Amino acid sequence: MKGIIFPLEGKNSSNSGTKNQNGSKMTKSSNPFDIIVVGAGPGGAGAAIHARQNGYSVCLIEKEKMNLSGRYKACGGAIDWKMVEVLSYPEEKIERVINTLELHHFDGESYSKKGTGAVVWRSVFDKYLTEKAVERGAKCKENEPLLTIKKQDHLYEISTTKGRYQAKYVLAADGVSSPTLRKLKWPRFVKEDLIMTVTEEIRLNKQKIEHDLGKNSLHLFFSIKGLSHLGYGWLFPKNQHLTVGWGNQLIRVKNATKEFNALLNLPMVRTCLKNSTIERIKGHLIPVGIRPQIWNENVYAIGDAGGFVDPISGKGIPYAIQSGQIAINTIKQCENKDLLDNQGQYYEETLDKTFLQILRKKKNARDRIYQNDQTLKQFLALWEKYRSSEIVRRGLI
């Protein structure tokens, strides 16, 4: 996995001394932090770890409580096995090990893609990363939504429901609707780049999951009769749960419930969901195009806030982590070379080289793939054999 660079064995070794300390009860920070990260998803928590590994003082502000019942993120939770290894993600926190991606076309054809991965609960995964950041000296302010952000002289001041914090740099890692960037009046995503999703978390007997879906398989459903023009439906089995999801381009969605029900009514899905219990249902947006602005005056857009998501698969966790790390590296490089005015250019160029270029190409490829059933099936047959980035890079579609 190109770009993920922190090994998570042991504690921080490069510089564990916090430059500035903030007490948890103070309402105004007397000593500003170097960096405030807003949002403790994979982008924010990963950035906080990397910032500490590079000796920066960090305040990680999260609106939700980070306990397992408090914070829910609608997500399939599928990650590559390489990520499990690089993050030293404990196997006991994995819900299911995966080795096959079953790609079903509505008219009955299916394709089987091999590759090892894991399915995790995001509450568990994000908490793990946040704890690693705290172990390395980041201050975590959970259950404290950002309310305001303003710049005074050379510092940003952020107020939350509980306090006020200052820092020279701000990383907006607060998701697709980023309150930080909204308050700073940054340009929004273009509507065509937003995918509307619906997720249901279903409690289901483990044996039934394995009987109906196989022990180690994820299932994707394409071309659900006229209803998922630029997207697909999915069944992601966890241990005793099944995550059922559907996504389509927001501007095309007429009736999300009806369209989601079309997925639930597919024979395979209906059989699998028999006698199950719905525990949660949630809508969420996925940004599949880059925000028109991703840096300005020491503020960085990270992960979903920047629109760093694979437009074909909807995969965003690795890009969130990588963009957080690239932002920290940018700060460090530009400080070392006394080139702070070049941060925006450096950030964008490094993102470009690491993954943005290929994500942009994938967006064009996606439109070709979803032209009609024939092009879609052609892609599914190729995807069975190659990584989607390889298909796009080699111009196979």
CB of 123 to ligand FAD, least distance (A): 10
Examine residue 130 and tell whether it contacts ligand FAD (CB under 6 A).
no
Distance CA(370)–CA(75), nearest Å, equals 23
Among 12, 57, 166, 197, binds ligand FAD (CB under 6 A): 197
Among 245, 307, 311, 344, binds ligand FAD (CB under 6 A): 245
Examine residue 307 and tell whether it contacts ligand FAD (CB under 6 A).
no
Instruction: Go through the chain and tell me how many residues it has.
Output: 397
**Contact mark string toward ligand FAD, 78..117, x via CB under 6 A:** x---------------------------------------
Examine residue 201 and tell whether it contacts ligand FAD (CB under 6 A).
no
> What are the φ/ψ torsions at residue 351 (nearest 5 degrees)?
-60, -45
Examine residue 311 and tell whether it contacts ligand FAD (CB under 6 A).
no
Examine residue 42 and tell whether it contacts ligand FAD (CB under 6 A).
yes
Examine residue 286 and tell whether it contacts ligand FAD (CB under 6 A).
yes
Tell me which amino acid residue 271 is: T
**Contact mark string toward ligand FAD, 43..82, x via CB under 6 A:** xx----------------xxxx--------xxxxxx----
Contact 25, 154 (CB under 8 A): no
Examine residue 317 and tell whether it contacts ligand FAD (CB under 6 A).
yes
Among 52, 132, 136, 284, binds ligand FAD (CB under 6 A): 284
DSSP code per residue over 26-80: -SB-SS-EEEEEE--SHHHHHHHHHHHHTT--EEEE-SS--STTT-------EEE
Q: Is 207 left (phi over 0), alpha (psi -120 to 50) or beta?
A: alpha
Q: How far apart are the first and last CA of the chain?
A: 23
Query: Of 305 and 351, which has the nearer Cβ to ligand FAD?
Result: 305
CB of 220 to ligand FAD, least distance (A): 11
- Contact region for ligand FAD (CB under 6 A) — 38-46, 97-105, 293-301, 363-371? 38-46
> What are the φ/ψ torsions at residue 97 (nearest 5 degrees)?
-90, 135
- Contact region for ligand FAD (CB under 6 A) — 23-31, 109-117, 168-176, 335-343? 168-176
User: The sheet that has 194-203: what strands, in order across it?
Assistant: 78-80, 110-119, 96-105, 217-222, 232-237, 241-249, 194-203, 277-287
Examine residue 212 and tell whether it contacts ligand FAD (CB under 6 A).
no
List the structure tokens of 233: 């439906």
Tell me which amino acid residue 197 is: T
Distance CA(146)–CA(60), nearest Å, equals 11
Distance CA(63)–CA(19), nearest Å, equals 25
CB of 175 to ligand FAD, least distance (A): 3
